[in-house]
Amino acid sequence: MLRFLPLKLGRLYRCLKLLLVVGLFVILLMNTHNLFASFQKNELTDRRFINLNKCPACFGTSWCRKFMNGQVSFETWGRLRFLDVFNVKNVYFAQYGEPREGTRRVVLKRLGSNQELAEIDQKICKRATGRPRCDLIQAMYKTEFARINGDVRLLTPEVVEGWSDLVHCPSQRLLDRVVRRYAETKDSGSFLLKNLKDTERMQLLMTLAFNPEPLVLQSFPSDEGWPFAKYLGACGRVVAVNYVGEELWSFYNAPWEKRVDLARQLMDIAEQLTNNDFEFALYLLDVSFDNFAVGPRDGKVIVVDAENVLVADKRLIKQNKPENYDVWYESRFEECDREACLSFSKDSLCSRVTVDHNYYAVCQNLLSRYATWRGTTGGLLHDPPAHIAKDGQLEALLDECTRPKKRYGRFQAAKELREYLTQLAAASSSATAR
């Protein structure tokens, strides 16, 4: 009886696959007319499709001319609207063309699900009129986004504190940086809020409150060595960023040497975002295989989802000296029944100078045996070669980085793990060169 169980399961699996294919075929037949229309029309030139008609309740307009001129178009599958039901995050791949430069791949984001975008509209309406539906454009001028008008010289911490992870504990230095580097204005470069137009101010504040990812990419740009995707521009409620490459998950079963190099880079990112010359600590609060991508040419690891990044100003912490500010903060390991979960205290991240959060997040959710993603466990460094597994050093460092047994053990383990991975990567390069 048991001998036939795998056979029956295999037959059931094939039947389910057949039903799925038949179902998709039926959907295609039912949408034949829409299918042809989707391939013929560039919906990115439609003001309503990109929600340009909702501005200034939008993310910007710097790329609108490119959208309206048809320079940006969805790639094949992105043109099929009936597939949007599977695209919960509203992230699309597209082609962007310049006459002299040719075309290149870009990523388009709505910065939220359809439900989240609808909820922000309802919140704006309720704040302005008390009703969930209203004239959105008129309502924007009655919200806190409009009250910070041209008479206000600076964007100050007490106004926006807690609006999002980026400004959970903002310093004036951080906010000046955000305003000065705001890319959705022609006159960027000034930290004075009054130099922005009314619509630009409202777009900046709405982005800060709804999803600050564009502001993270602008304030800490890849051109200056920060490990984030490059921000390109926005039109309505669609933001364009540079396409980096395949997501990190695609390399889960890559050759060992490749995975070691990627792991080394991930630890380097954790170090850079924690300790840098600017004394801004950028803590990654959402760490998963989907939030990183790898460049196809240089193999460089980049953060491609920066919505949940908390920025703490170490310079301000040292100046204000809150209670226990100079006591090292250790993130506490906690087992959970979900994928990519982390335990942290935002208030502690905001009030300590020395914090191990980024090391903990990368080790637990990406590298160690505790990492789980899409039903798989073992982490990026699973199944090491026999001689490395026998040595035991790698496993010991990963365990201490994830679930430290010694006080402040994660700090030392992270340092030694970076060095060890660098040695392994160097050894692999030497072996390949021979």
State the Cα–Cα distance between residues 401 and 411, nearest whole angstrom: 8
Residues 260 and 428 sit within 8 Å (Cβ to Cβ): yes
Are 139 and 125 contacting, i.e. CB atoms less than 8 angstroms apart? Answer: yes
Q: Which three-class secondary structure state does DSSP give residue 221?
A: coil
Q: Which amino acid is at 26?
A: V
Amino acid letter, residue 190: S
Domains present along the chain, CATH in parentheses: 250-433 (1.10.510)
CB-CB contact of 330 with 404 (8 Å): yes
How confident is the model at residue 186, as a pLDDT?
83
Average pLDDT for runs of 10 along the chain of length 434? 42 63 59 50 89 96 96 78 66 90 93 93 92 93 83 89 97 97 87 90 95 98 97 98 97 97 98 98 97 96 97 98 96 84 94 98 96 91 95 96 95 97 85 58
Q: Where are the beta strands (DSSP E) in 54-190?
A: 72-74, 91-98, 102-109
Q: How many other C-beta atoms are found inside a 10 Å radius of the C-beta of residue 13?
A: 10
Please report the pLDDT score of residue 15 as a whole number. 65
From 95, 77, 94, select the one nearest 86 (Cα to Cα). 77
pLDDT for residue 26: 59
Burial bucket for residue 374 (CB in 10 Å: 0-12, 13-18, 19+):
exposed
pLDDT at residue number 87: 59
pLDDT at 33: 47
> φ, ψ for residue 312 (rounded to 5)?
-110, 135
147 φ, ψ (degrees, to nearest 5) = -65, -25
Contact 47, 41 (CB under 8 A): no
Three-state DSSP state, 284: strand
**Contact status, residue 92 vs residue 69, Cβ threshold 8 Å:** no
The reported pLDDT for the residue numbered 4 is 40
Tokens, residue 148:
């910070």
**Which pLDDT score, from 0 to 100, does residue 214 have?**
98
- Pairwise CA distance, residues 134 & 137, whole Å: 9
